[in-house]
Amino acid sequence: MEAVEKVKEYLKGTTTIGLAASEGVVLVSDKRATMGTLIAHKVVNKSFIIDKHVAATVAGSVGDAQALIRWMRSEARLYRMRKGEEISIGALSNLMANVLFSQRYYPYIVQLVIGGVDKTGSKVFSLDPLGSSIEDKVVSTGSGSPYAYGVLEDAYREDMDVEETVRIGIRAMKAALQRDAMTGNGIDVIRITKDGAVKLPKEEIDKIIDSF
């Protein structure tokens, strides 16, 4: 119980979103890092490209998140070297879930969303600090997630193309930025298709926001 309460204490800030589109995946995150009511950092990277076909968002302890991102990148590259092909999104998610579960009594204080495109299609998984791995089409984490879900439940459809999904993800994040004090200072977006993972430039994100 002590470990669970410690996790709950830390997982209060941030908003991240993972969406599976008809032919791709979109990951969205804010850029604000908080320590209680203090805005500790205004430009924090919470969305990471792991390999050319897979990316992740993080919420929680920055140190734990950075360590797990390095771990995932290493495992993805090693798999490619050994097998001559990309690791599947499900396999990488299960690997990280096993890592988290093995530390459940002294947990990594982090919640992950892993998403990408492999041979089986577009995949999004949500991982909690105690080791669960759950596949879904729509995932949001952090304190701003109720506001994001309010938009996503109304606007998201499984048959949307990637560009439309990008717009819905940004719109949902914009709602969280406007209503959640621990979410803010900008938006990061990663778009993943069969052609690879790309982090969208700020100018493109701003243009989409201005169109709402």
φ, ψ of residue 123 in degrees (nearest 5): -135, 140
Q: In what order do the strands lie in the sheet with 187-193?
A: 138-142, 15-20, 25-30, 187-193, 196-199
Number of other CB atoms surrounding residue 157 within 10 Å: 11
Which H or E element spans position 210? helix 202-210
C-alpha dihedral sign at 134, 135, 136, 137: positive
Rounded to whole angstroms, how far apart are CA atoms 72 and 87? 11
**How long, in residues, is the chain?**
212
- 182-191: buried (b, 16+ CB within 10 Å) or exposed (e) per residue? bbbebbbbbb
Place of tokens 């406007």: 178
14 tagged catalytic: yes
Catalytic: which of 14, 16, 141, 193?
14
Residues recognised as catalytic: 14
